[in-house]
Amino acid sequence: MVGSGGPSDDVPTTGHEWDGITEFNKPLPRWWLWTFYATVIWSIGYWLAMPAWPLVEGYTRGLLGYSQRAVVAERIADSRAMQAQYVEQIADASLEEIRADPELLSFALAGGRSAFAVNCSQCHGSGAEGSVGYPNLNDDDWLWGGSLEEIAFTIRHGVRNESDEDARFNEMPAYGRDELLEPEQIEAVVRYTMSLSSGEGTAAEGEGATIFAEECATCHGEDGKGIVELGAPDLTDAIWLYGGGYESIRAQVENSRGGVMPNWSGRLPPETIKQLAIYVHSLGGGT
Amino acid sequence: MIAAPAQPETADVGRIDVEPVNAAERRPLYEKRAKIFPRAVSGRYRAVKWAALAAILGLYYILPWLRWDRGPNAPDQAVLIDFPGQRFYLFFIEIWPQEVYFITGLLIMAALILFLVSGIAGRVWCGYACPQTVWTDLFMWVERRIDGDRNAQMRLDRAPWTWRKLSKRAAKHGAWLLIAVGTGGAWVFYFADAPTLAAALARFEAPTVSYLFIGLLTCTTYLLAGHAREQVCTFMCPWPRIQGAMLDEHSMLVTYRRERGEPRGSHKRGQSWEGRGDCVDCKACVAVCPMGIDIRDGNQLECINCALCVDACNDIMDRVGRPRGLIAYDTMAGLADPSAEDASRPVWRRLRLLRPRTLLYAVSIVLVGAVMLATLVSRGDTEMAVLRDRNPLFVQLSDGSFRNGYTVKIQNKRHEARRFRILAEGLPGAHLSAVGGGSDDIPVGPDRLRTLRVYVAAPLPATPEAVTPFDIVAADLATGERFSHATTFRRAE
């Protein structure tokens, strides 16, 4: 910066000098400086107005009393207030009425979807696709009935739980574990059952058919098509809760598994259960 | 130089006491900004600038009030950016959010046109049409009405604070703020029905966001046009930096003819013009410059090519009896070759319009414009989208067949309610059903989007492959028009 006639001649120095080298005094631009002062003043105001300083216990609340938790609570309350008109209508309406009203239907589907994601997806999957032992809710096979009312009942009371007297309940005997049938007999009845599903089992097939008629038909029906009132699955269709292969069916006949579902009445408000029923029914299984 | 005979109508021209505060070599980097008091000027380019100002401000204020009949189910405002309704209306064009590429195209076109204009005519945008120039001009006009011209303004600026100065200052800033409020006030009318919003604003019942934006634009207008002025162009705007790449030796710019003007010096009436230049060093060009530069220093970054110095100099040349155009629009090529036989022709007659640069810009503009026009003309007023479910990909039904779920969206851009039937085509034996009712008669409101959940079930023989392509079709029940969307049907391997 040092040159004859250059700007250095006019620029004041700080007065510091090291071995003949001096330092220019070039102040901050004015707008920068004032902005800096303004931020200092602003921060003091902010400390006073807003929650700012941590204390040994708690923190300074600030004069405005602002709290993010309060804001969240307020927003949730606002949302609830906005939803209230629909929720009230849903509380008063029957499931069929909700389904017939496009506005209520779309509200119930949205509400049911989010309630499903929070409460149901852990077992049934986020797409309600189920898993081994957990029913797929998208298909048309319903162990306890797929009508709106039946679905709502299952959600309210659950399956095989001990906390609701009205819970859906059945229990298949464990033919192997409890030694109700000989291993060869189990083999025969499993073979017969598999033939039912593949459509070839209509003809009586010796020992297996006899055992099926004696032991299984009471619940699964003589034709193996199941009885919805008992929650006994249809053995002739393509859907198998615990797997349709020989090993899977044999394991079921020997040890008899049965899933448990909690009762949701008491855990969720009735309006939410209605929305869940509408949503689950809409997944395509409902018949 | 030609010796001019003394003419009775010529007059002595004094020298104005003015320094070009932004002249490159005189501007210390850390000095406080020197205030510029541009002198009023009249002439051809000033007149053009007033006309441009009137046209641009008129357009800005009137546009939101124009009405355009779109039928009963749509707003009747010609230009409307409807954020809550997610529509952009521009006369006969209606743009949905997913068609925002039209806006992108418009911006690309605007940029290319700016390039082309700059390549041919230099910074006409800066000098005549830029909002910063227009509003600054308006603010300066107000300033002159209240404070007087340059000298009066400077006297007032130096004067101590008296009641007179206080009242003048109050009047000026009050007027500026009024204009600024008007500027912000007009802006919000582009985003809502103008008459309704105007009434609501007057009753203080308009949405808070309207007042917020009026306040914001009031602040920016008042600060930028009233106080920041030439600093916006010099320090804030990127365009003076970019435009260097657009200009070349054939671009028009406001320029001082050095070889004609030098050596400069004051001139007494009756003196000979022999052996000297035409520039009488009156500094009128510096006094009128809103950017605070001396055009005689050559082309500078600060110069917005407003041509007010041309008007000022022409006036002086008339008075001293020399030909006009000492400061004029010319090209660098024209300046370098003053002996060219056609140098006396006006510059726009000598412009080389056909250059690779201009051709490239022009072809790009035509291309983008053609693509946009073709897209605009060929776009339908009904659109359909199909989104297949990914979770689960497919569902096996009890009879062993498979079913897939789809989300179907039907966009009805017509301003009338319509009814559709949804079908699956290309999948033999397939059965389609919609959640919440049948799929045979689906109403879609005017200018609305309808979203449906749809299931397609197909028996195994229909789907020999794990993935089978097919179409979901929406047929308009009234007109029979069909809109289809390709998708796939999946089953287990």
List, for residues B269-298, the tens digit of each pLDDT value.
878 888 888 899 888 999 999 998 999 988
What confidence score (pLDDT) does residue B98 get? 85
List, for residues B30-43, the tens digit of each pLDDT value.
667 788 999 999 99
**Which of A54-63, B17-26, B335-344, B426-435 tops mean pLDDT?**
A54-63
Q: Element (H or E) spanning A148, and its range?
A: helix A148-157
Say if CB B16 and CB B284 are below 8 A apart.
yes
The neighbouring-strand residues paired with B203 are: none
List, for residues A185-233, the tens digit of each pLDDT value.
999 999 888 888 776 655 556 888 889 999 999 999 988 899 988 999 9
**Long-range residue pairs from B275-281, CB within 8 A, at least 24 positions apart, any chain:** B275/B1, B276/B1, B277/B1, B278/B1, B278/B317, B278/B322, B278/B323, B278/B326, B279/B326, B280/B13, B280/B316, B280/B320, B281/B15
Nearest to A7 among B28, B397, B405 (CB): B28
Residue B477's closest CA among B406, B404, B382, B388? B382
Between chains, do B396 and A239 touch, taking CB under 8 Å as contact? yes
Say if CB A119 and CB A113 are below 8 A apart.
no
Please list the ranges in chain A whose pLDDT falls under 50. 1-7
From the candidates B393, B435, B449, B451, which should be mutated to test the interface with A, based on the most A CB atoms within 10 A? B435
Between chains, do B398 and A127 touch, taking CB under 8 Å as contact? no
Is residue B21 very low, low, confident or very high in pLDDT (cuts 50, 70, 90)? confident
B52: contact with A, CB 8 A cutoff: no
Cα(B229)–Cα(B234) distance, integer angstroms: 9
* Tokens read off for A40: 């200092």
Residue B404's closest CA among A219, A127, A103, A101? A127
Say if CB B370 and CB B349 are below 8 A apart.
no
From the candidates A124, A278, A283, which should be mutated to test the interface with B, based on the most B CB atoms within 10 A? A283
List, for residues B52-101, the tens digit of each pLDDT value.
999 999 999 999 999 998 877 788 999 999 988 888 998 888 888 888 88
User: How many CA atoms lie within 13 Å of A247's alpha carbon, on the beta-carbon side?
Assistant: 0
Q: Over 80: is that where the pLDDT of B364 sits? A: yes
What confidence score (pLDDT) does residue B53 get? 94
Q: Over 90: is that where the pLDDT of B353 sits? A: no
Between chains, do A238 and B392 touch, taking CB under 8 Å as contact? no
Residue that is written with structure tokens 């000492």 in the block: B326
B263 preceded by a cis bond (ω within 30 of 0): yes
List, for residues B110-122, the tens digit of each pLDDT value.
999 999 999 998 8
- Phi–psi pair at B475, nearest 5 degrees: -110, 125
B395: contact with A, CB 8 A cutoff: yes
B268: contact with A, CB 8 A cutoff: no
Is residue B1 very low, low, confident or very high in pLDDT (cuts 50, 70, 90)? very low
Query: By a Cβ cutoff of 8 Å, what residues of chain A touch chain B?
Result: 7, 10-11, 26-27, 29-30, 99, 102, 105, 109, 125-129, 136, 138-141, 234, 237-239, 282, 284
What confidence score (pLDDT) does residue B59 get? 93
Cα(B309)–Cα(B61) distance, integer angstroms: 30
Between chains, do A127 and B28 touch, taking CB under 8 Å as contact? no
From A97, which residue of chain B is nearest by alpha-carbon distance?
B436
- Phi–psi pair at A245, nearest 5 degrees: -80, 170
Is residue B341 very low, low, confident or very high in pLDDT (cuts 50, 70, 90)? low
Q: Element (H or E) spanning B318, and its range?
A: helix B308-320
What confidence score (pLDDT) does residue B5 get? 43
Q: Supply the DSSP string of B157-183, one letter for each residue.
A: HHS---HHHHHHHHHHHHHHHHHHHHH
What confidence score (pLDDT) does residue A199 get? 63
What confidence score (pLDDT) does residue B77 get? 92
B455: contact with A, CB 8 A cutoff: yes
- The C-alpha of A22 sits at a distance from chain B's nearest C-alpha, in angstroms, of 18
The neighbouring-strand residues paired with B237 are: none
Arithmetic mean of pLDDT, B126-153: 93
List, for residues B439-492, the tens digit of each pLDDT value.
888 899 888 888 888 999 888 776 678 898 999 999 999 999 999 999 999 988
List, for residues B403-421, the tens digit of each pLDDT value.
999 999 999 988 889 999 9
Between chains, do B395 and A284 touch, taking CB under 8 Å as contact? yes
Say if CB B446 and CB B414 are below 8 A apart.
yes
Contact residues on chain A for B443, CB-CB shorter than 8 A: none
**Which of A119-123, B4-8, B230-234, B433-437 tops mean pLDDT?**
A119-123
- Residue A65 region by backbone torsions, left for phi larger than 0, else alpha for psi between -120 and 50, else beta: left
Say if CB B126 and CB B233 are below 8 A apart.
yes
Q: What is the CA B137 to chain-centroid distance, rounded?
A: 18
- The C-alpha of A140 sits at a distance from chain B's nearest C-alpha, in angstroms, of 6
3-class SS of residue B88:
strand
Mean pLDDT of chain B: 87
Using the 8-state DSSP alphabet, how is residue B38 labeled?
A: P
- The C-alpha of A212 sits at a distance from chain B's nearest C-alpha, in angstroms, of 21
Q: Over 70: is that where the pLDDT of B338 sits? A: no
What confidence score (pLDDT) does residue B3 get? 44
Is residue B200 very low, low, confident or very high in pLDDT (cuts 50, 70, 90)? very high
B299 contacts: CB under 8 Å, gap ≥ 6: B253, B255
From B456, which residue of chain A is nearest by alpha-carbon distance?
A284
What confidence score (pLDDT) does residue A200 get? 61
